[in-house]
Structure 1
């Protein structure tokens, strides 16, 4: 189901909790909401739709949507400065990201995965994972 985007800073600054299989419905809500906002958004964290769980989704090539449950960055390389915007906020802000990251996570079926991401996809994942910690860019 398409959910409204949360813009309440006090809510967004709260840390998210680990997701469980009971939160599986949130994955579909995130996918539906990202599809509805795909013209102005490439990723969403669960708190952006009002759920304080460590779940994110991101788009690859504008059509493939990848969910990640409880992702953890286990390796990061090559920091760089960039500027980002967020669907929950107006304007853009400067931040530091890493060109290459390795992430352990659960997929939509709660199977363990480990994968290396580079470039813009790595940047999206880092941005959405900041939401889990209440860091708003």
Structure 2
């Protein structure tokens, strides 16, 4: 089932996600709905707060990045096969150079800005079968994970922007809150009933 994506200004996007257990109600269905919603909106990641759930859950499928001219053949192969569910994730380490990449967010349509993040992370999480894992990721995969991880911490990519950049996108953010954004997917807006 395709769920509405909560837009900038919705309070749930600022909540710290709560940890869940393997008997969280309808967990498998929630994960399936999140993947379906993400694909419908042409995203590469989606966090539970973006569909109104203040829990520590996000899903990722980086395949769309595999077709980019900016990635090597090796990285393209890695991106093509990377589809994962992260439950109760905890980033243990961020290391390596900080590099910029033009990010966007399904909750903040029509806003894209360069965000600087570490190139490598170590993360501990549970997969959808509740197997505990500790893994290292780098490059675009690490970046997508960091972006989605921010969501379960109540952080949006616009929080990483300079004061000047925040001012420049301020009007667009206000328009999203007022429901004036018109993406090609269903959204729930802070100051307007969903469409």
Do the structures match in fold with TM over 0.5? yes
Aligned residue in 2 for 1:67: 85
CA distances 1:73-112 after superposition (whole Å, capped 9, x unpaired): 1121122233311010131234331111111100000110
Aligned residue in 1 for 2:147: 127
Aligned residue in 2 for 1:46: 48
Q: Which moved more, 1:48-57 or 1:91-100?
A: 91-100
Aligned residue in 2 for 1:35: 39
**Runs of 5+ in structure 2 lacking a partner?**
65-79, 158-195
Name the one with the larger strand percent. 1
Native 8 Å contact 1:60 1:66 kept in 2: no
Native 8 Å contact 2:44 2:63 kept in 1: no
**Runs of 5+ in structure 1 lacking a partner?**
none
TM-score normalised by the chain length of structure 2: 0.64
Report the Cα distance in structure 2 between the residues aligned to 1:92 and 1:11, rounded to whole angstroms: 21
Report the Cα distance in structure 1 between the residues aligned to 2:36 and 2:121, rounded to whole angstroms: 26
Deviation at 1:48, TM superposition (A): 0.6
CA RMSD of aligned residues (A): 1.7
> Post-superposition, which runs of at least 4 consecutive aligned residues in structure 1 deviate over 6 A?
none
- 1:116 matched to 2:118? The reply is no
Aligned residue in 2 for 1:15: 16
Report the Cα distance in structure 2 between the residues aligned to 1:122 and 1:59, rounded to whole angstroms: 12
Report the Cα distance in structure 1 between the residues aligned to 2:12 and 2:133, rounded to whole angstroms: 29
Q: Which moved more, 1:54-63 or 1:66-75?
A: 54-63
How many residues are matched? Answer: 135
TM-score normalised by the chain length of structure 1: 0.88
Aligned residue in 2 for 1:5: 5
Report the Cα distance in structure 1 between the residues aligned to 2:62 and 2:108, rounded to whole angstroms: 22
